A = this chain, B = another copy of it.
Amino acid sequence: MTAAATELPAPPPLRDDTLRVYALGGLGEVGRNMTVLEYRGRLLIVDCGVFFPEEHHPGIDLILPDISLVTDRLDDIEAIVLTHGHEDHIGAVPYLLKRKPDIPLVGSTLTLALIEAKLKEHRIVPYTLAVREGQVEQLGVFECEFVAVNHSIPDALAVMVRTGAGTVLHTGDFKMDQLPLDGRLTDLRAFARLGEEGVDLFLTDSTNAEVPGFTMPERDIAPAIDKVFRHATGKIIVACFSSHVHRVQQVLDAAARAGRKVAFVGRSMIRNMTIASDLGYLKVPPGVLIDFKKVDSLRDDQIVLISTGSQGEPMAALSRMANGDHKIEVGPGDTVLLASSLIPGNENAVYRVINGLMRLGAHVVHKGNAKVHTSGHASAGELLYCYNIVKPKNVMPVHGEWRHLVANGELARQTGVPAERILTGESGTVVDLKKGVARITGAYPVGHIYVDGAALGDEHSEELLRDRRILRDEGFVTVIVLVDTAEGKVLAPPEIMTRGVAEKDVVFDPIVPRIEQAVVESMAKGNTDTYALQQVVRRTIGSWLGSKLRRRPMIIPIVIDA
């Protein structure tokens, strides 16, 4: 059962015998994950993350799930369950709590520590309930049982939700590393037990559903890291995600073996690793860690820097090093290790950093030339295990673009879930569960909420982005006309000013008298409203630009009655 949300009607009123599930983000896109479970008038939210803007979102800092759909029902929200501490699962929490700071946050110790640090920047102290695997909590009408899963951040949880209308098992983001660094397995015994109890609706992570086989264990990248340490003669600079505690652990261990010292670089790296180390998730070998300020006192072959910027972010330390614009000078003999994925869309930025570092003489090791990264998500082979162990009645693929959701649904089908019991939808698509049968019954209109500096985007944001895209590609033309409407005169030749238009100013000379003439003629016809005269100016120059110059810049006519 497949349905694009935009083609569906509004869902019917929710009856008390039915559990409703829908996403306000994260389906049909990678990021801004947020799922709502609704039962008997109460809402349980699972995750509340951000989406990182792409090139068609110019100037936008973040995109939020469409929290506007719950902001008139804030008192109905029982709790927000956070499955793990990644930005695409917790990043939008501050924007929801700004509207109601006492919505309880439920999650593991590390997850709560990370969101609390983030909320501190927004000056919000949240109500929290720390939970761990195996724990069962009654949250209003929702009974939640938490299950250990492993992922590219420690302490991730899946959640089983039991209600009077059925059960939902939500995996969160997960993989099934059978030899995890911290020994914390995805708890397939619990998945089996819950499956035997009966999982009516199974929400599963689709990110890697298109990838055949099995995700490589995290510890299998150790040899590639060790090789870097064996061959490096100068500084070693490692870039990875600032939440990837296990990756950092591997680098710390390699540094200890090689007798090098490690300093963290970048605000989020320092903050997260301090939290992870304080809580015992990161085990720093004695004497290995030093403050960045003390790096100067070491020889190059004693130094390891662990930095942010693995996605080529222009302001991050690594990009600035590549541009020769950072305190740390990179040169021949130095090795840079990008121990990270390459998120689609970031390729040009990342290759720009790699080229810049190589141009300075550095040796650059990345997933394109060495096994220095593995994913945090279950590949197709692992998902098949999951479906066979849980044997869910209904499946709703979550977390992914359409192609990922379809691939994940196809895996469920291969394990024997009937095609009509696989609910593939987009953000907004409503799945209603009743007596063990889940159906798509409609859709809510889920839009985008843009964060742009201090402003939170509303319905005008699409218009704003359209304006910015025109300005980006075509620039603008301002025409200023000073008129005396009483006399019907134009007081001075219209002035034309352009920015971002690929034409020299002189090109516009021929149109100036025509604009003047058009305005005079319009006034002669009794037109004395400056807004109407502005439209005359717009039409006159607009058609000329289109036909003569084949351009469509933004046109800003300004008529002043002086």
In this assembly, does A123 line the interface, its C-beta being within 8 Å of a C-beta of chain B? no
In this assembly, does A454 line the interface, its C-beta being within 8 Å of a C-beta of chain B? yes
Interface stretch of the complex, out of A186-194, A388-396, A496-504? A496-504
When the two chains form their complex, are residues B355 and A480 in contact, meaning their CB atoms are under 8 A apart? no
Task: Produce 1/0 per residue, A446-457, CB < 8 A to B.
Answer: 000010111101
In this assembly, does A179 line the interface, its C-beta being within 8 Å of a C-beta of chain B? no
**Distance between A479 CB and nearest chain B CB, rounded to angstroms:** 11
When the two chains form the complex, which single residue of B351, B467, B502 contacts A401, counting CB atoms closer than 8 Å? Answer: B351
Q: Which residues of the other chain, B, contact A280 by a CB distance below 8 angstroms?
A: none
Closest to A550 in B: B453
Given A369-B210, A476-B471, verify A482-B560 contact (CB < 8 Å).
Answer: yes
When the two chains form their complex, are residues B502 and A351 in contact, meaning their CB atoms are under 8 A apart? no
A358 to B364 alpha-carbon distance, docked (Å):
37
**Distance between A316 CB and nearest chain B CB, rounded to angstroms:** 17
A503 to B464 alpha-carbon distance, docked (Å):
10
When the two chains form their complex, are residues A474 and B355 in contact, meaning their CB atoms are under 8 A apart? no
When the two chains form their complex, are residues B455 and A502 in contact, meaning their CB atoms are under 8 A apart? yes
Task: Produce 1/0 per residue, A59-70, CB < 8 A to B.
Answer: 100000000000
Q: Which residues of the other chain, B, contact A2 by a CB distance below 8 angstroms?
A: 361
Interface stretch of the complex, out of A16-24, A221-229, A266-274, A341-349? A341-349
When the two chains form their complex, are residues B473 and A58 in contact, meaning their CB atoms are under 8 A apart? yes
When the two chains form their complex, are residues B455 and A503 in contact, meaning their CB atoms are under 8 A apart? yes
CB proximity to B under 8 Å, residues A335-374: 344-345, 347-348, 351, 354-356, 358-359, 361, 364, 368-369
When the two chains form their complex, are residues B359 and A402 in contact, meaning their CB atoms are under 8 A apart? yes
Q: Taking chain A's interface residues, is the majority helix, strand, or loop, or is none over half, making it mixed?
A: mixed
CB proximity to B under 8 Å, residues A396-432: 401-403, 406
Interface stretch of the complex, out of A78-86, A515-523, A551-559? A551-559
In this assembly, does A98 line the interface, its C-beta being within 8 Å of a C-beta of chain B? no
In this assembly, does A472 line the interface, its C-beta being within 8 Å of a C-beta of chain B? yes
Q: Could you list 15 A-B pairs, sorted by A, with CB under 8 Å?
A: A4-B359, A59-B474, A210-B369, A344-B348, A358-B403, A454-B550, A455-B502, A467-B475, A467-B499, A467-B500, A468-B472, A471-B499, A478-B478, A499-B554, A560-B560
Q: Which residues of A contact B (CB under 8 A)?
A: 2, 4, 28, 54-55, 58-59, 210, 344-345, 347-348, 351, 354-356, 358-359, 361, 364, 368-369, 401-403, 406, 450, 452-455, 457, 461, 464, 467-469, 471-476, 478, 480, 482, 491, 495, 497, 499-500, 502-503, 549-551, 554, 556, 558, 560, 562
Q: Contacts A58-B473, A59-B472, A351-B403 given; 11 further ones with Cβ under 8 A?
A: A28-B355, A59-B474, A59-B475, A59-B500, A210-B369, A344-B347, A354-B403, A464-B500, A468-B473, A471-B475, A480-B480
